[in-house]
Amino acid sequence: MNNWKKILLIGCVVLLAACTKSVLITGDYLMIPAQDGGKMSKLEILSVGENILGEPQYVEIAQDRVDYYIPIDVTEYKGQSLDICLTGVDKNNKFYKRFAQSDVRVTERDERYRPRYHFAPDFGWTNDPNGMVYYDGEYHLAYQANPYGIGHYNMHWGNAVSTDLMHWEDLPPIIAPDSLGAIFSGSAIVDDENTAGFGKDAIVAMYTSAGRLQRQSIAYSLDRGRTYTKYEGNPVITDLSRRDFRDPKLSRFGDKWIVAIAAGDVIAFYASKDLKNWEKLSEFGKGIGSHAAVWECPDLLKFEYEGKEKWVLLVSINPGNPNGGSITQYFIGSFDGKEFKADPLPYPLWVDLGADNYAGVTFAGKEDRHIFMGWMSNWYYSGATPTKRFRNCMTLPRDLSLKSNGRHLILASNPSPEVYASMKQVRSFDDTKVGLGFSIPQILEENHGAYSIAFTIQPDTKGKLAVVLSNTLGEKMVYHFDFSKNELSLDRSESGLVDFEPRFASKPIVTHIVERAEYKVEMFVDRQSIEMFVGEGDVSFTNSMFPSEYYDKFEITADGCNPILSEITINEIN
């Protein structure tokens, strides 16, 4: 049974909350014992009769064992007693009563699959990146968050901040569910002209209030994105004709605000002068691109290409990935402040044909760059992956640009300059021909599962090349370049833990490469993922993995060709 069904069941049975225990607060965090897949129970923590969590929150309460503790910040209540109330618990069960207190939010934070240079929440679940905005030296990355568990429920906006896009500080959540519903995806901008009247330079966020209906609401921050106040006039955009109406992405066009919203399987555009009153402009998408499912998480971007204005519209779709599950498509065309029109191109076009790059959008507030980050997972299995105290993480930041593939324009994704700024070359190898094989038996002396490998391939004939990363247990990620078909594929069926969901490794993941005389290849390895970039932005190929031991061996073998390998380096990223 999925989490939402369990929650519904609790709602229907209407179990009365038992205030199980009164606890004298001595630590900074009250730790609630939880079990992955445990009994879904409604939690309230009362201080003088008032729930300190705002709305009741669902927790997978421990029943047979304690898998992890849910940390609740109770610093304000030190010296006071709090009543913990849970619905539907068996009073005789000893596990759910194992409340603890701690001065540390997450113990054993550095678990096996916690990425070292990608953002993942300190605790809890994440999916889409939200509210991405740059303001006064800081990047703000809000994110779809469950601060009370590692499954997709209790949706809040979590909040992380960074000055360099690579090192993130995970701060307390900023937007919590209310009577309008859960807080689904959305975006943020800096209102530097105070058009909304919340204050000059207010960061204004628009998100989906996901209740019985999906409607768009706004909230603002006057303290550099640390706390938000919801607008009392919410919701600000409603469309009663749609069940799926979500993920507003704000941008500026001349003297007005534009918002792109996923509306069923099209994108609706609205305009406003003050972020509060909105007028519908147009819809885009009928009969073009992939419509395998409803559309989600749009982003509208303006580029300059050879002196001309070009617009790109990103649209996520789940399922719809030719490799299975979640994926993001894009359209290239024009936008006149009212309507988006797509150029005639061979749609669908994909941002990244890997299995694990979804719901990605770009940071507002950086006029000269389009910095993209996606969610590095796939709805097919994101709820089952074998992490413990957190689940899922984001991709590396990537700078998007337009380039030609020889036939038409494509959207190129390159690792952002900030990725290279935090990278240090630690090994390099002489240029060589692949011949009978090229191998690095031990990638790093001290291997924490996080590094990058880069090399350039110059194929001589149209043969095949296998690129393999493996560990001493024989687990491996096997990539195949097939230059005769201009194809790159990944077999992750023996990559480590794969059977947590049958669709994780059931077939090879295939992408296309653009025919070039040489290919620069970069593989960013970070414990639970490899992001591969081929041909300076031509191809990005993002895939997750869960090896039982970090990969430490790298091999390339050729079949029917003898390409030159050059510029081979191993890099640490800190």
The alpha carbon of 185 is separated from its chain's Cα centroid by a whole number of angstroms, namely 11
Cα of first residue to Cα of last residue in the chain, in angstroms, is 40
- Please say whether the beta carbons of 426 and 571 come within 8 A: yes
Of the candidates 44, 60, 122, 128, which one interacts with ligand FRU according to CB under 6 A? 128
Q: What is the DSSP string of 387-444?
A: -SSEE--BPPPEEEEEEE-SSSEEEEEEE-HHHHHTEEEEEEE--EE-TT-EEES-S-
CB of 311 to ligand FRU, least distance (A): 22
**Which regions of 147-294 does DSSP assign to beta strands (E)?**
156-162, 169-175, 182-191, 202-210, 214-221, 229-230, 245-253, 256-263, 266-272, 279-284
3-class DSSP assignment, residue 254: coil
Work out whether 126 is an interface residue with ligand FRU (CB under 6 A): no
36 binds ligand FRU (CB under 6 A): no
Selected binder of ligand FRU within 3, 57, 126, 127 (CB under 6 A)? 127
> Binding mask 221-260 vs ligand FRU (x if CB under 6 A, - otherwise)?
-------------------------xx-------------
* Residues identified as active-site: 128
**220 Cβ neighbours under 8 A, 6+ residues apart:** 191, 196, 198, 199, 202, 203, 204, 205, 228, 229, 231
3-state secondary structure 330-374: EEEEEECCCCEEECCCCCCEECCCCCCCEEEEECECCCCCCEEEE
User: For the chain, how many residues are written?
Assistant: 574
Choose, by CB under 6 A, the member of 135, 139, 184, 550 that binds ligand FRU.
184
* Minimum separation from the CB atom of position 90 to ligand FRU (A): 31
Strand pairing class (124-135; 390-391) = parallel
| 381 in contact with ligand FRU (CB under 6 A) | no
Q: How far is the CB of 136 from ligand FRU (least distance, A)?
A: 28
Tell the smallest beta-carbon distance from residue 383 to ligand FRU (Å): 12
Shorter beta-carbon distance to ligand FRU: residue 10 or 293? 293
Q: Which is nearer to ligand FRU, 144 or 540 (CB)?
A: 144
Between residues 128 and 538, which has the closer beta carbon with respect to ligand FRU?
128
CA distance 499 to 219: 41
Residue from 142, 155, 236, 465 binding ligand FRU (CB under 6 A): 155
Element (H, E) at 13: helix 3-13
Of 35 and 208, the one with the shorter C-beta distance to ligand FRU is 208
By CB atoms closer than 10 A (0-12, 13-18, 19+), residue 526 is buried
Number of shown-chain residues binding ligand FRU (CB under 6 A): 12
> Taking CB under 6 A as the rule, does residue 132 contact ligand FRU?
no
Site for ligand FRU in 190-209 (CB under 6 A): 208
Closer to ligand FRU by CB, 205 or 297: give it.
297
Can residue 393 be called a binding residue for ligand FRU (CB under 6 A)?
no
Alpha carbon distance 190, 178 (integer Å):
24
Distance in Å, CB of 379 to ligand FRU, minimum: 7
3 sits near ligand FRU (criterion: CB under 6 A): no
392 binds ligand FRU (CB under 6 A): no
Q: Within positions 335 to 374, which residues make up the interface with ligand FRU, using CB under 6 A? A: 359
At closest approach, how far in Å is the CB of 127 from ligand FRU? 5
Output DSSP code: residue 15.
P
When the beta carbons of 33 and 360 are compared against ligand FRU, the nearer one is: 360
Cis omega (within 30 of 0) for bond into 33: no
**Contact residues for 112 (Cβ-Cβ < 8 A; gap 6+):** 527
| Residue 260 vs 297, nearer CB to ligand FRU | 297
Residue 299 binds ligand FRU, judged by CB under 6 A: no
Q: Which of 57, 87, 144, 511 binds ligand FRU (CB under 6 A)?
A: 144
Q: Is 297 in the site for ligand FRU (CB under 6 A)?
A: yes
Task: Give me the least distance between CB of 351 and ligand FRU, in Å please.
Answer: 14
Nearer to ligand FRU by Cβ, of 295 and 524: the residue is: 295
Nearer to ligand FRU, 294 or 434 (CB): 294
**In this chain, which of 36, 122, 296, 399 binds ligand FRU, going by CB under 6 A?**
296
- Rounded CA gap, 306 and 149, in Å? 48
In this chain, which residue has its C-beta nearest to ligand FRU? 184
* Half-sphere exposure in the Cβ direction for 526 (13 Å, CA): 25
In whole angstroms, give the CA distance from residue 195 to residue 199. Answer: 8
Query: Residues interacting with ligand FRU, by CB under 6 A?
Result: 127-128, 144, 155, 184-185, 208, 246-247, 296-297, 359
